[in-house]
Chain A
Amino acid sequence: MAPLLELEGVARHWPVKGGVVRAVDGVSFTLARGETLALVGESGCGKSTTARLALKLIEPSAGRVRIDGADITGLSGGALRRMRRRAQIIFQDPFASLNPRLSVGEAIEEPLIVHGIGDKASRAARVRELLGLVGLAEWQAGRFPHEFSGGQRQRIGIARALAVQPELIICDEPVSALDVSIQAQVVNLLKDLQERFGLAYLFIAHDLAVVKHMADRVAVMYLGRIVEVAETRRLFADPRHPYTRALLAAIPRPDPRRRGMVTPLGGDVPSPLNPPPGCRFHTRCPLAQAVCREVEPPALEVAPGHRSACHFAAELPVVERVAEGGLSPVAARRLALFGQSAPSTLT
Chain B
Amino acid sequence: MNAIAPPKRAGVLKRLLRDPAAAIALGFVVAMVLAAVLAPWIAPTDPFDNNLALSMKPPGTPGLLLGADAQGRDLITRMLFGLRASLMMGFVATAAGGVVGVLLGFLAAFYQRWLDGPIMRLMDMMLSFPAILVGLAIAAIFGPGLSSVILALAIATVPLMARIARGSALVTMRLDYIEAARAIGMTDARLIWRHLAPNCLSAIFVFTTLRFGQVILLGSALSFLGLGAQPPMAELGAMASEGRNFLFFAPHIAVIPCIGIFAIVLAFNLLGDALRDALDPRLRF
Chain B residues closer than 8 Å to A88, beta-carbon distance: 183-184
Q: Are the CB atoms of B177 and A115 closer together than 8 Å?
A: no
Any chain A CB within 8 A of the CB of B190? yes
Q: Are the CB atoms of B177 and A96 closer together than 8 Å?
A: yes
Instruction: Identify B180's interface contact among A80, A85, A89, A164, CB under 8 A.
Output: A89
B188-201 Cβ-contact flags toward A at 8 Å (1 or 0): 00100011001100
Q: Are the CB atoms of A93 and B182 closer together than 8 Å?
A: no
Any chain B CB within 8 A of the CB of A100? yes
A/B interface sample: 10 pairs, CB < 8 A: A57-B183, A92-B176, A97-B175, A99-B194, A99-B199, A114-B185, A137-B1, A138-B1, A139-B1, A146-B284
Q: Are the CB atoms of A93 and B186 closer together than 8 Å?
A: no
Q: Are the CB atoms of A347 and B184 closer together than 8 Å?
A: no
Any chain B CB within 8 A of the CB of A55? yes
Q: Are the CB atoms of A100 and B199 closer together than 8 Å?
A: yes
Q: Are the CB atoms of B183 and A114 closer together than 8 Å?
A: no
The docked-state distance in angstroms from the alpha carbon of A63 to that of B206 is 46
Q: Is the interface of B mostly helix, strand, loop or mixed?
A: helix
Closest to A83 in B: B185
The docked-state distance in angstroms from the alpha carbon of A92 to that of B3 is 28
Chain A residues closer than 8 Å to B199, beta-carbon distance: 99-101
Given A99-B195, A101-B198, answer yes or no on A160-B185 (Cβ-Cβ < 8 Å).
no
Chain A residues closer than 8 Å to B281, beta-carbon distance: 100
Any chain A CB within 8 A of the CB of B63? no
Any chain A CB within 8 A of the CB of B6? yes
Given A97-B180, A99-B177, answer yes or no on A347-B3 (Cβ-Cβ < 8 Å).
yes
Closest to A78 in B: B185
Any chain A CB within 8 A of the CB of B19? no
Q: Are the CB atoms of B6 and A84 closer together than 8 Å?
A: no
Closest to A106 in B: B194
Q: Are the CB atoms of A93 and B176 closer together than 8 Å?
A: yes
Chain A residues closer than 8 Å to B1, beta-carbon distance: 137-139, 345, 347
The docked-state distance in angstroms from the alpha carbon of A101 to that of B184 is 17
Any chain A CB within 8 A of the CB of B179? yes
A45-84 Cβ-contact flags toward B at 8 Å (1 or 0): 0000000100101000000000000000000000011011
B: which residues have CB within 8 A of A?
1, 3, 6, 9, 175-177, 179-186, 190, 194-195, 198-199, 281, 284
Closest to B186 in A: A114
The docked-state distance in angstroms from the alpha carbon of A87 to that of B194 is 22
The docked-state distance in angstroms from the alpha carbon of A137 to that of B9 is 21
Given A91-B180, A139-B1, answer yes or no on A115-B185 (Cβ-Cβ < 8 Å).
yes
Q: How many residues from A make CB contacts under 8 Å with B?
A: 35
Instruction: Identify A81's interface contact among B9, B185, B194, B195, CB under 8 A.
Output: B185
The docked-state distance in angstroms from the alpha carbon of A138 to that of B180 is 23
The docked-state distance in angstroms from the alpha carbon of A97 to that of B249 is 67
A112 to chain B, nearest CB (A): 10
Any chain B CB within 8 A of the CB of A272? no
Instruction: Identify B177's interface contact among A57, A98, A137, A147, CB under 8 A.
Output: A98
Any chain B CB within 8 A of the CB of A297? no
A93 to chain B, nearest CB (A): 6
A344 to chain B, nearest CB (A): 12
Instruction: Identify B176's interface contact among A85, A96, A164, CB under 8 A.
Output: A96
Closest to B2 in A: A347
The docked-state distance in angstroms from the alpha carbon of A98 to that of B175 is 9
Closest to A172 in B: B176
The docked-state distance in angstroms from the alpha carbon of A242 to that of B9 is 53
Closest to A136 in B: B1
A182 to chain B, nearest CB (A): 18
Closest to A346 in B: B3
Q: Are the CB atoms of B179 and A114 closer together than 8 Å?
A: no
A215-231 Cβ-contact flags toward B at 8 Å (1 or 0): 00000000000000000
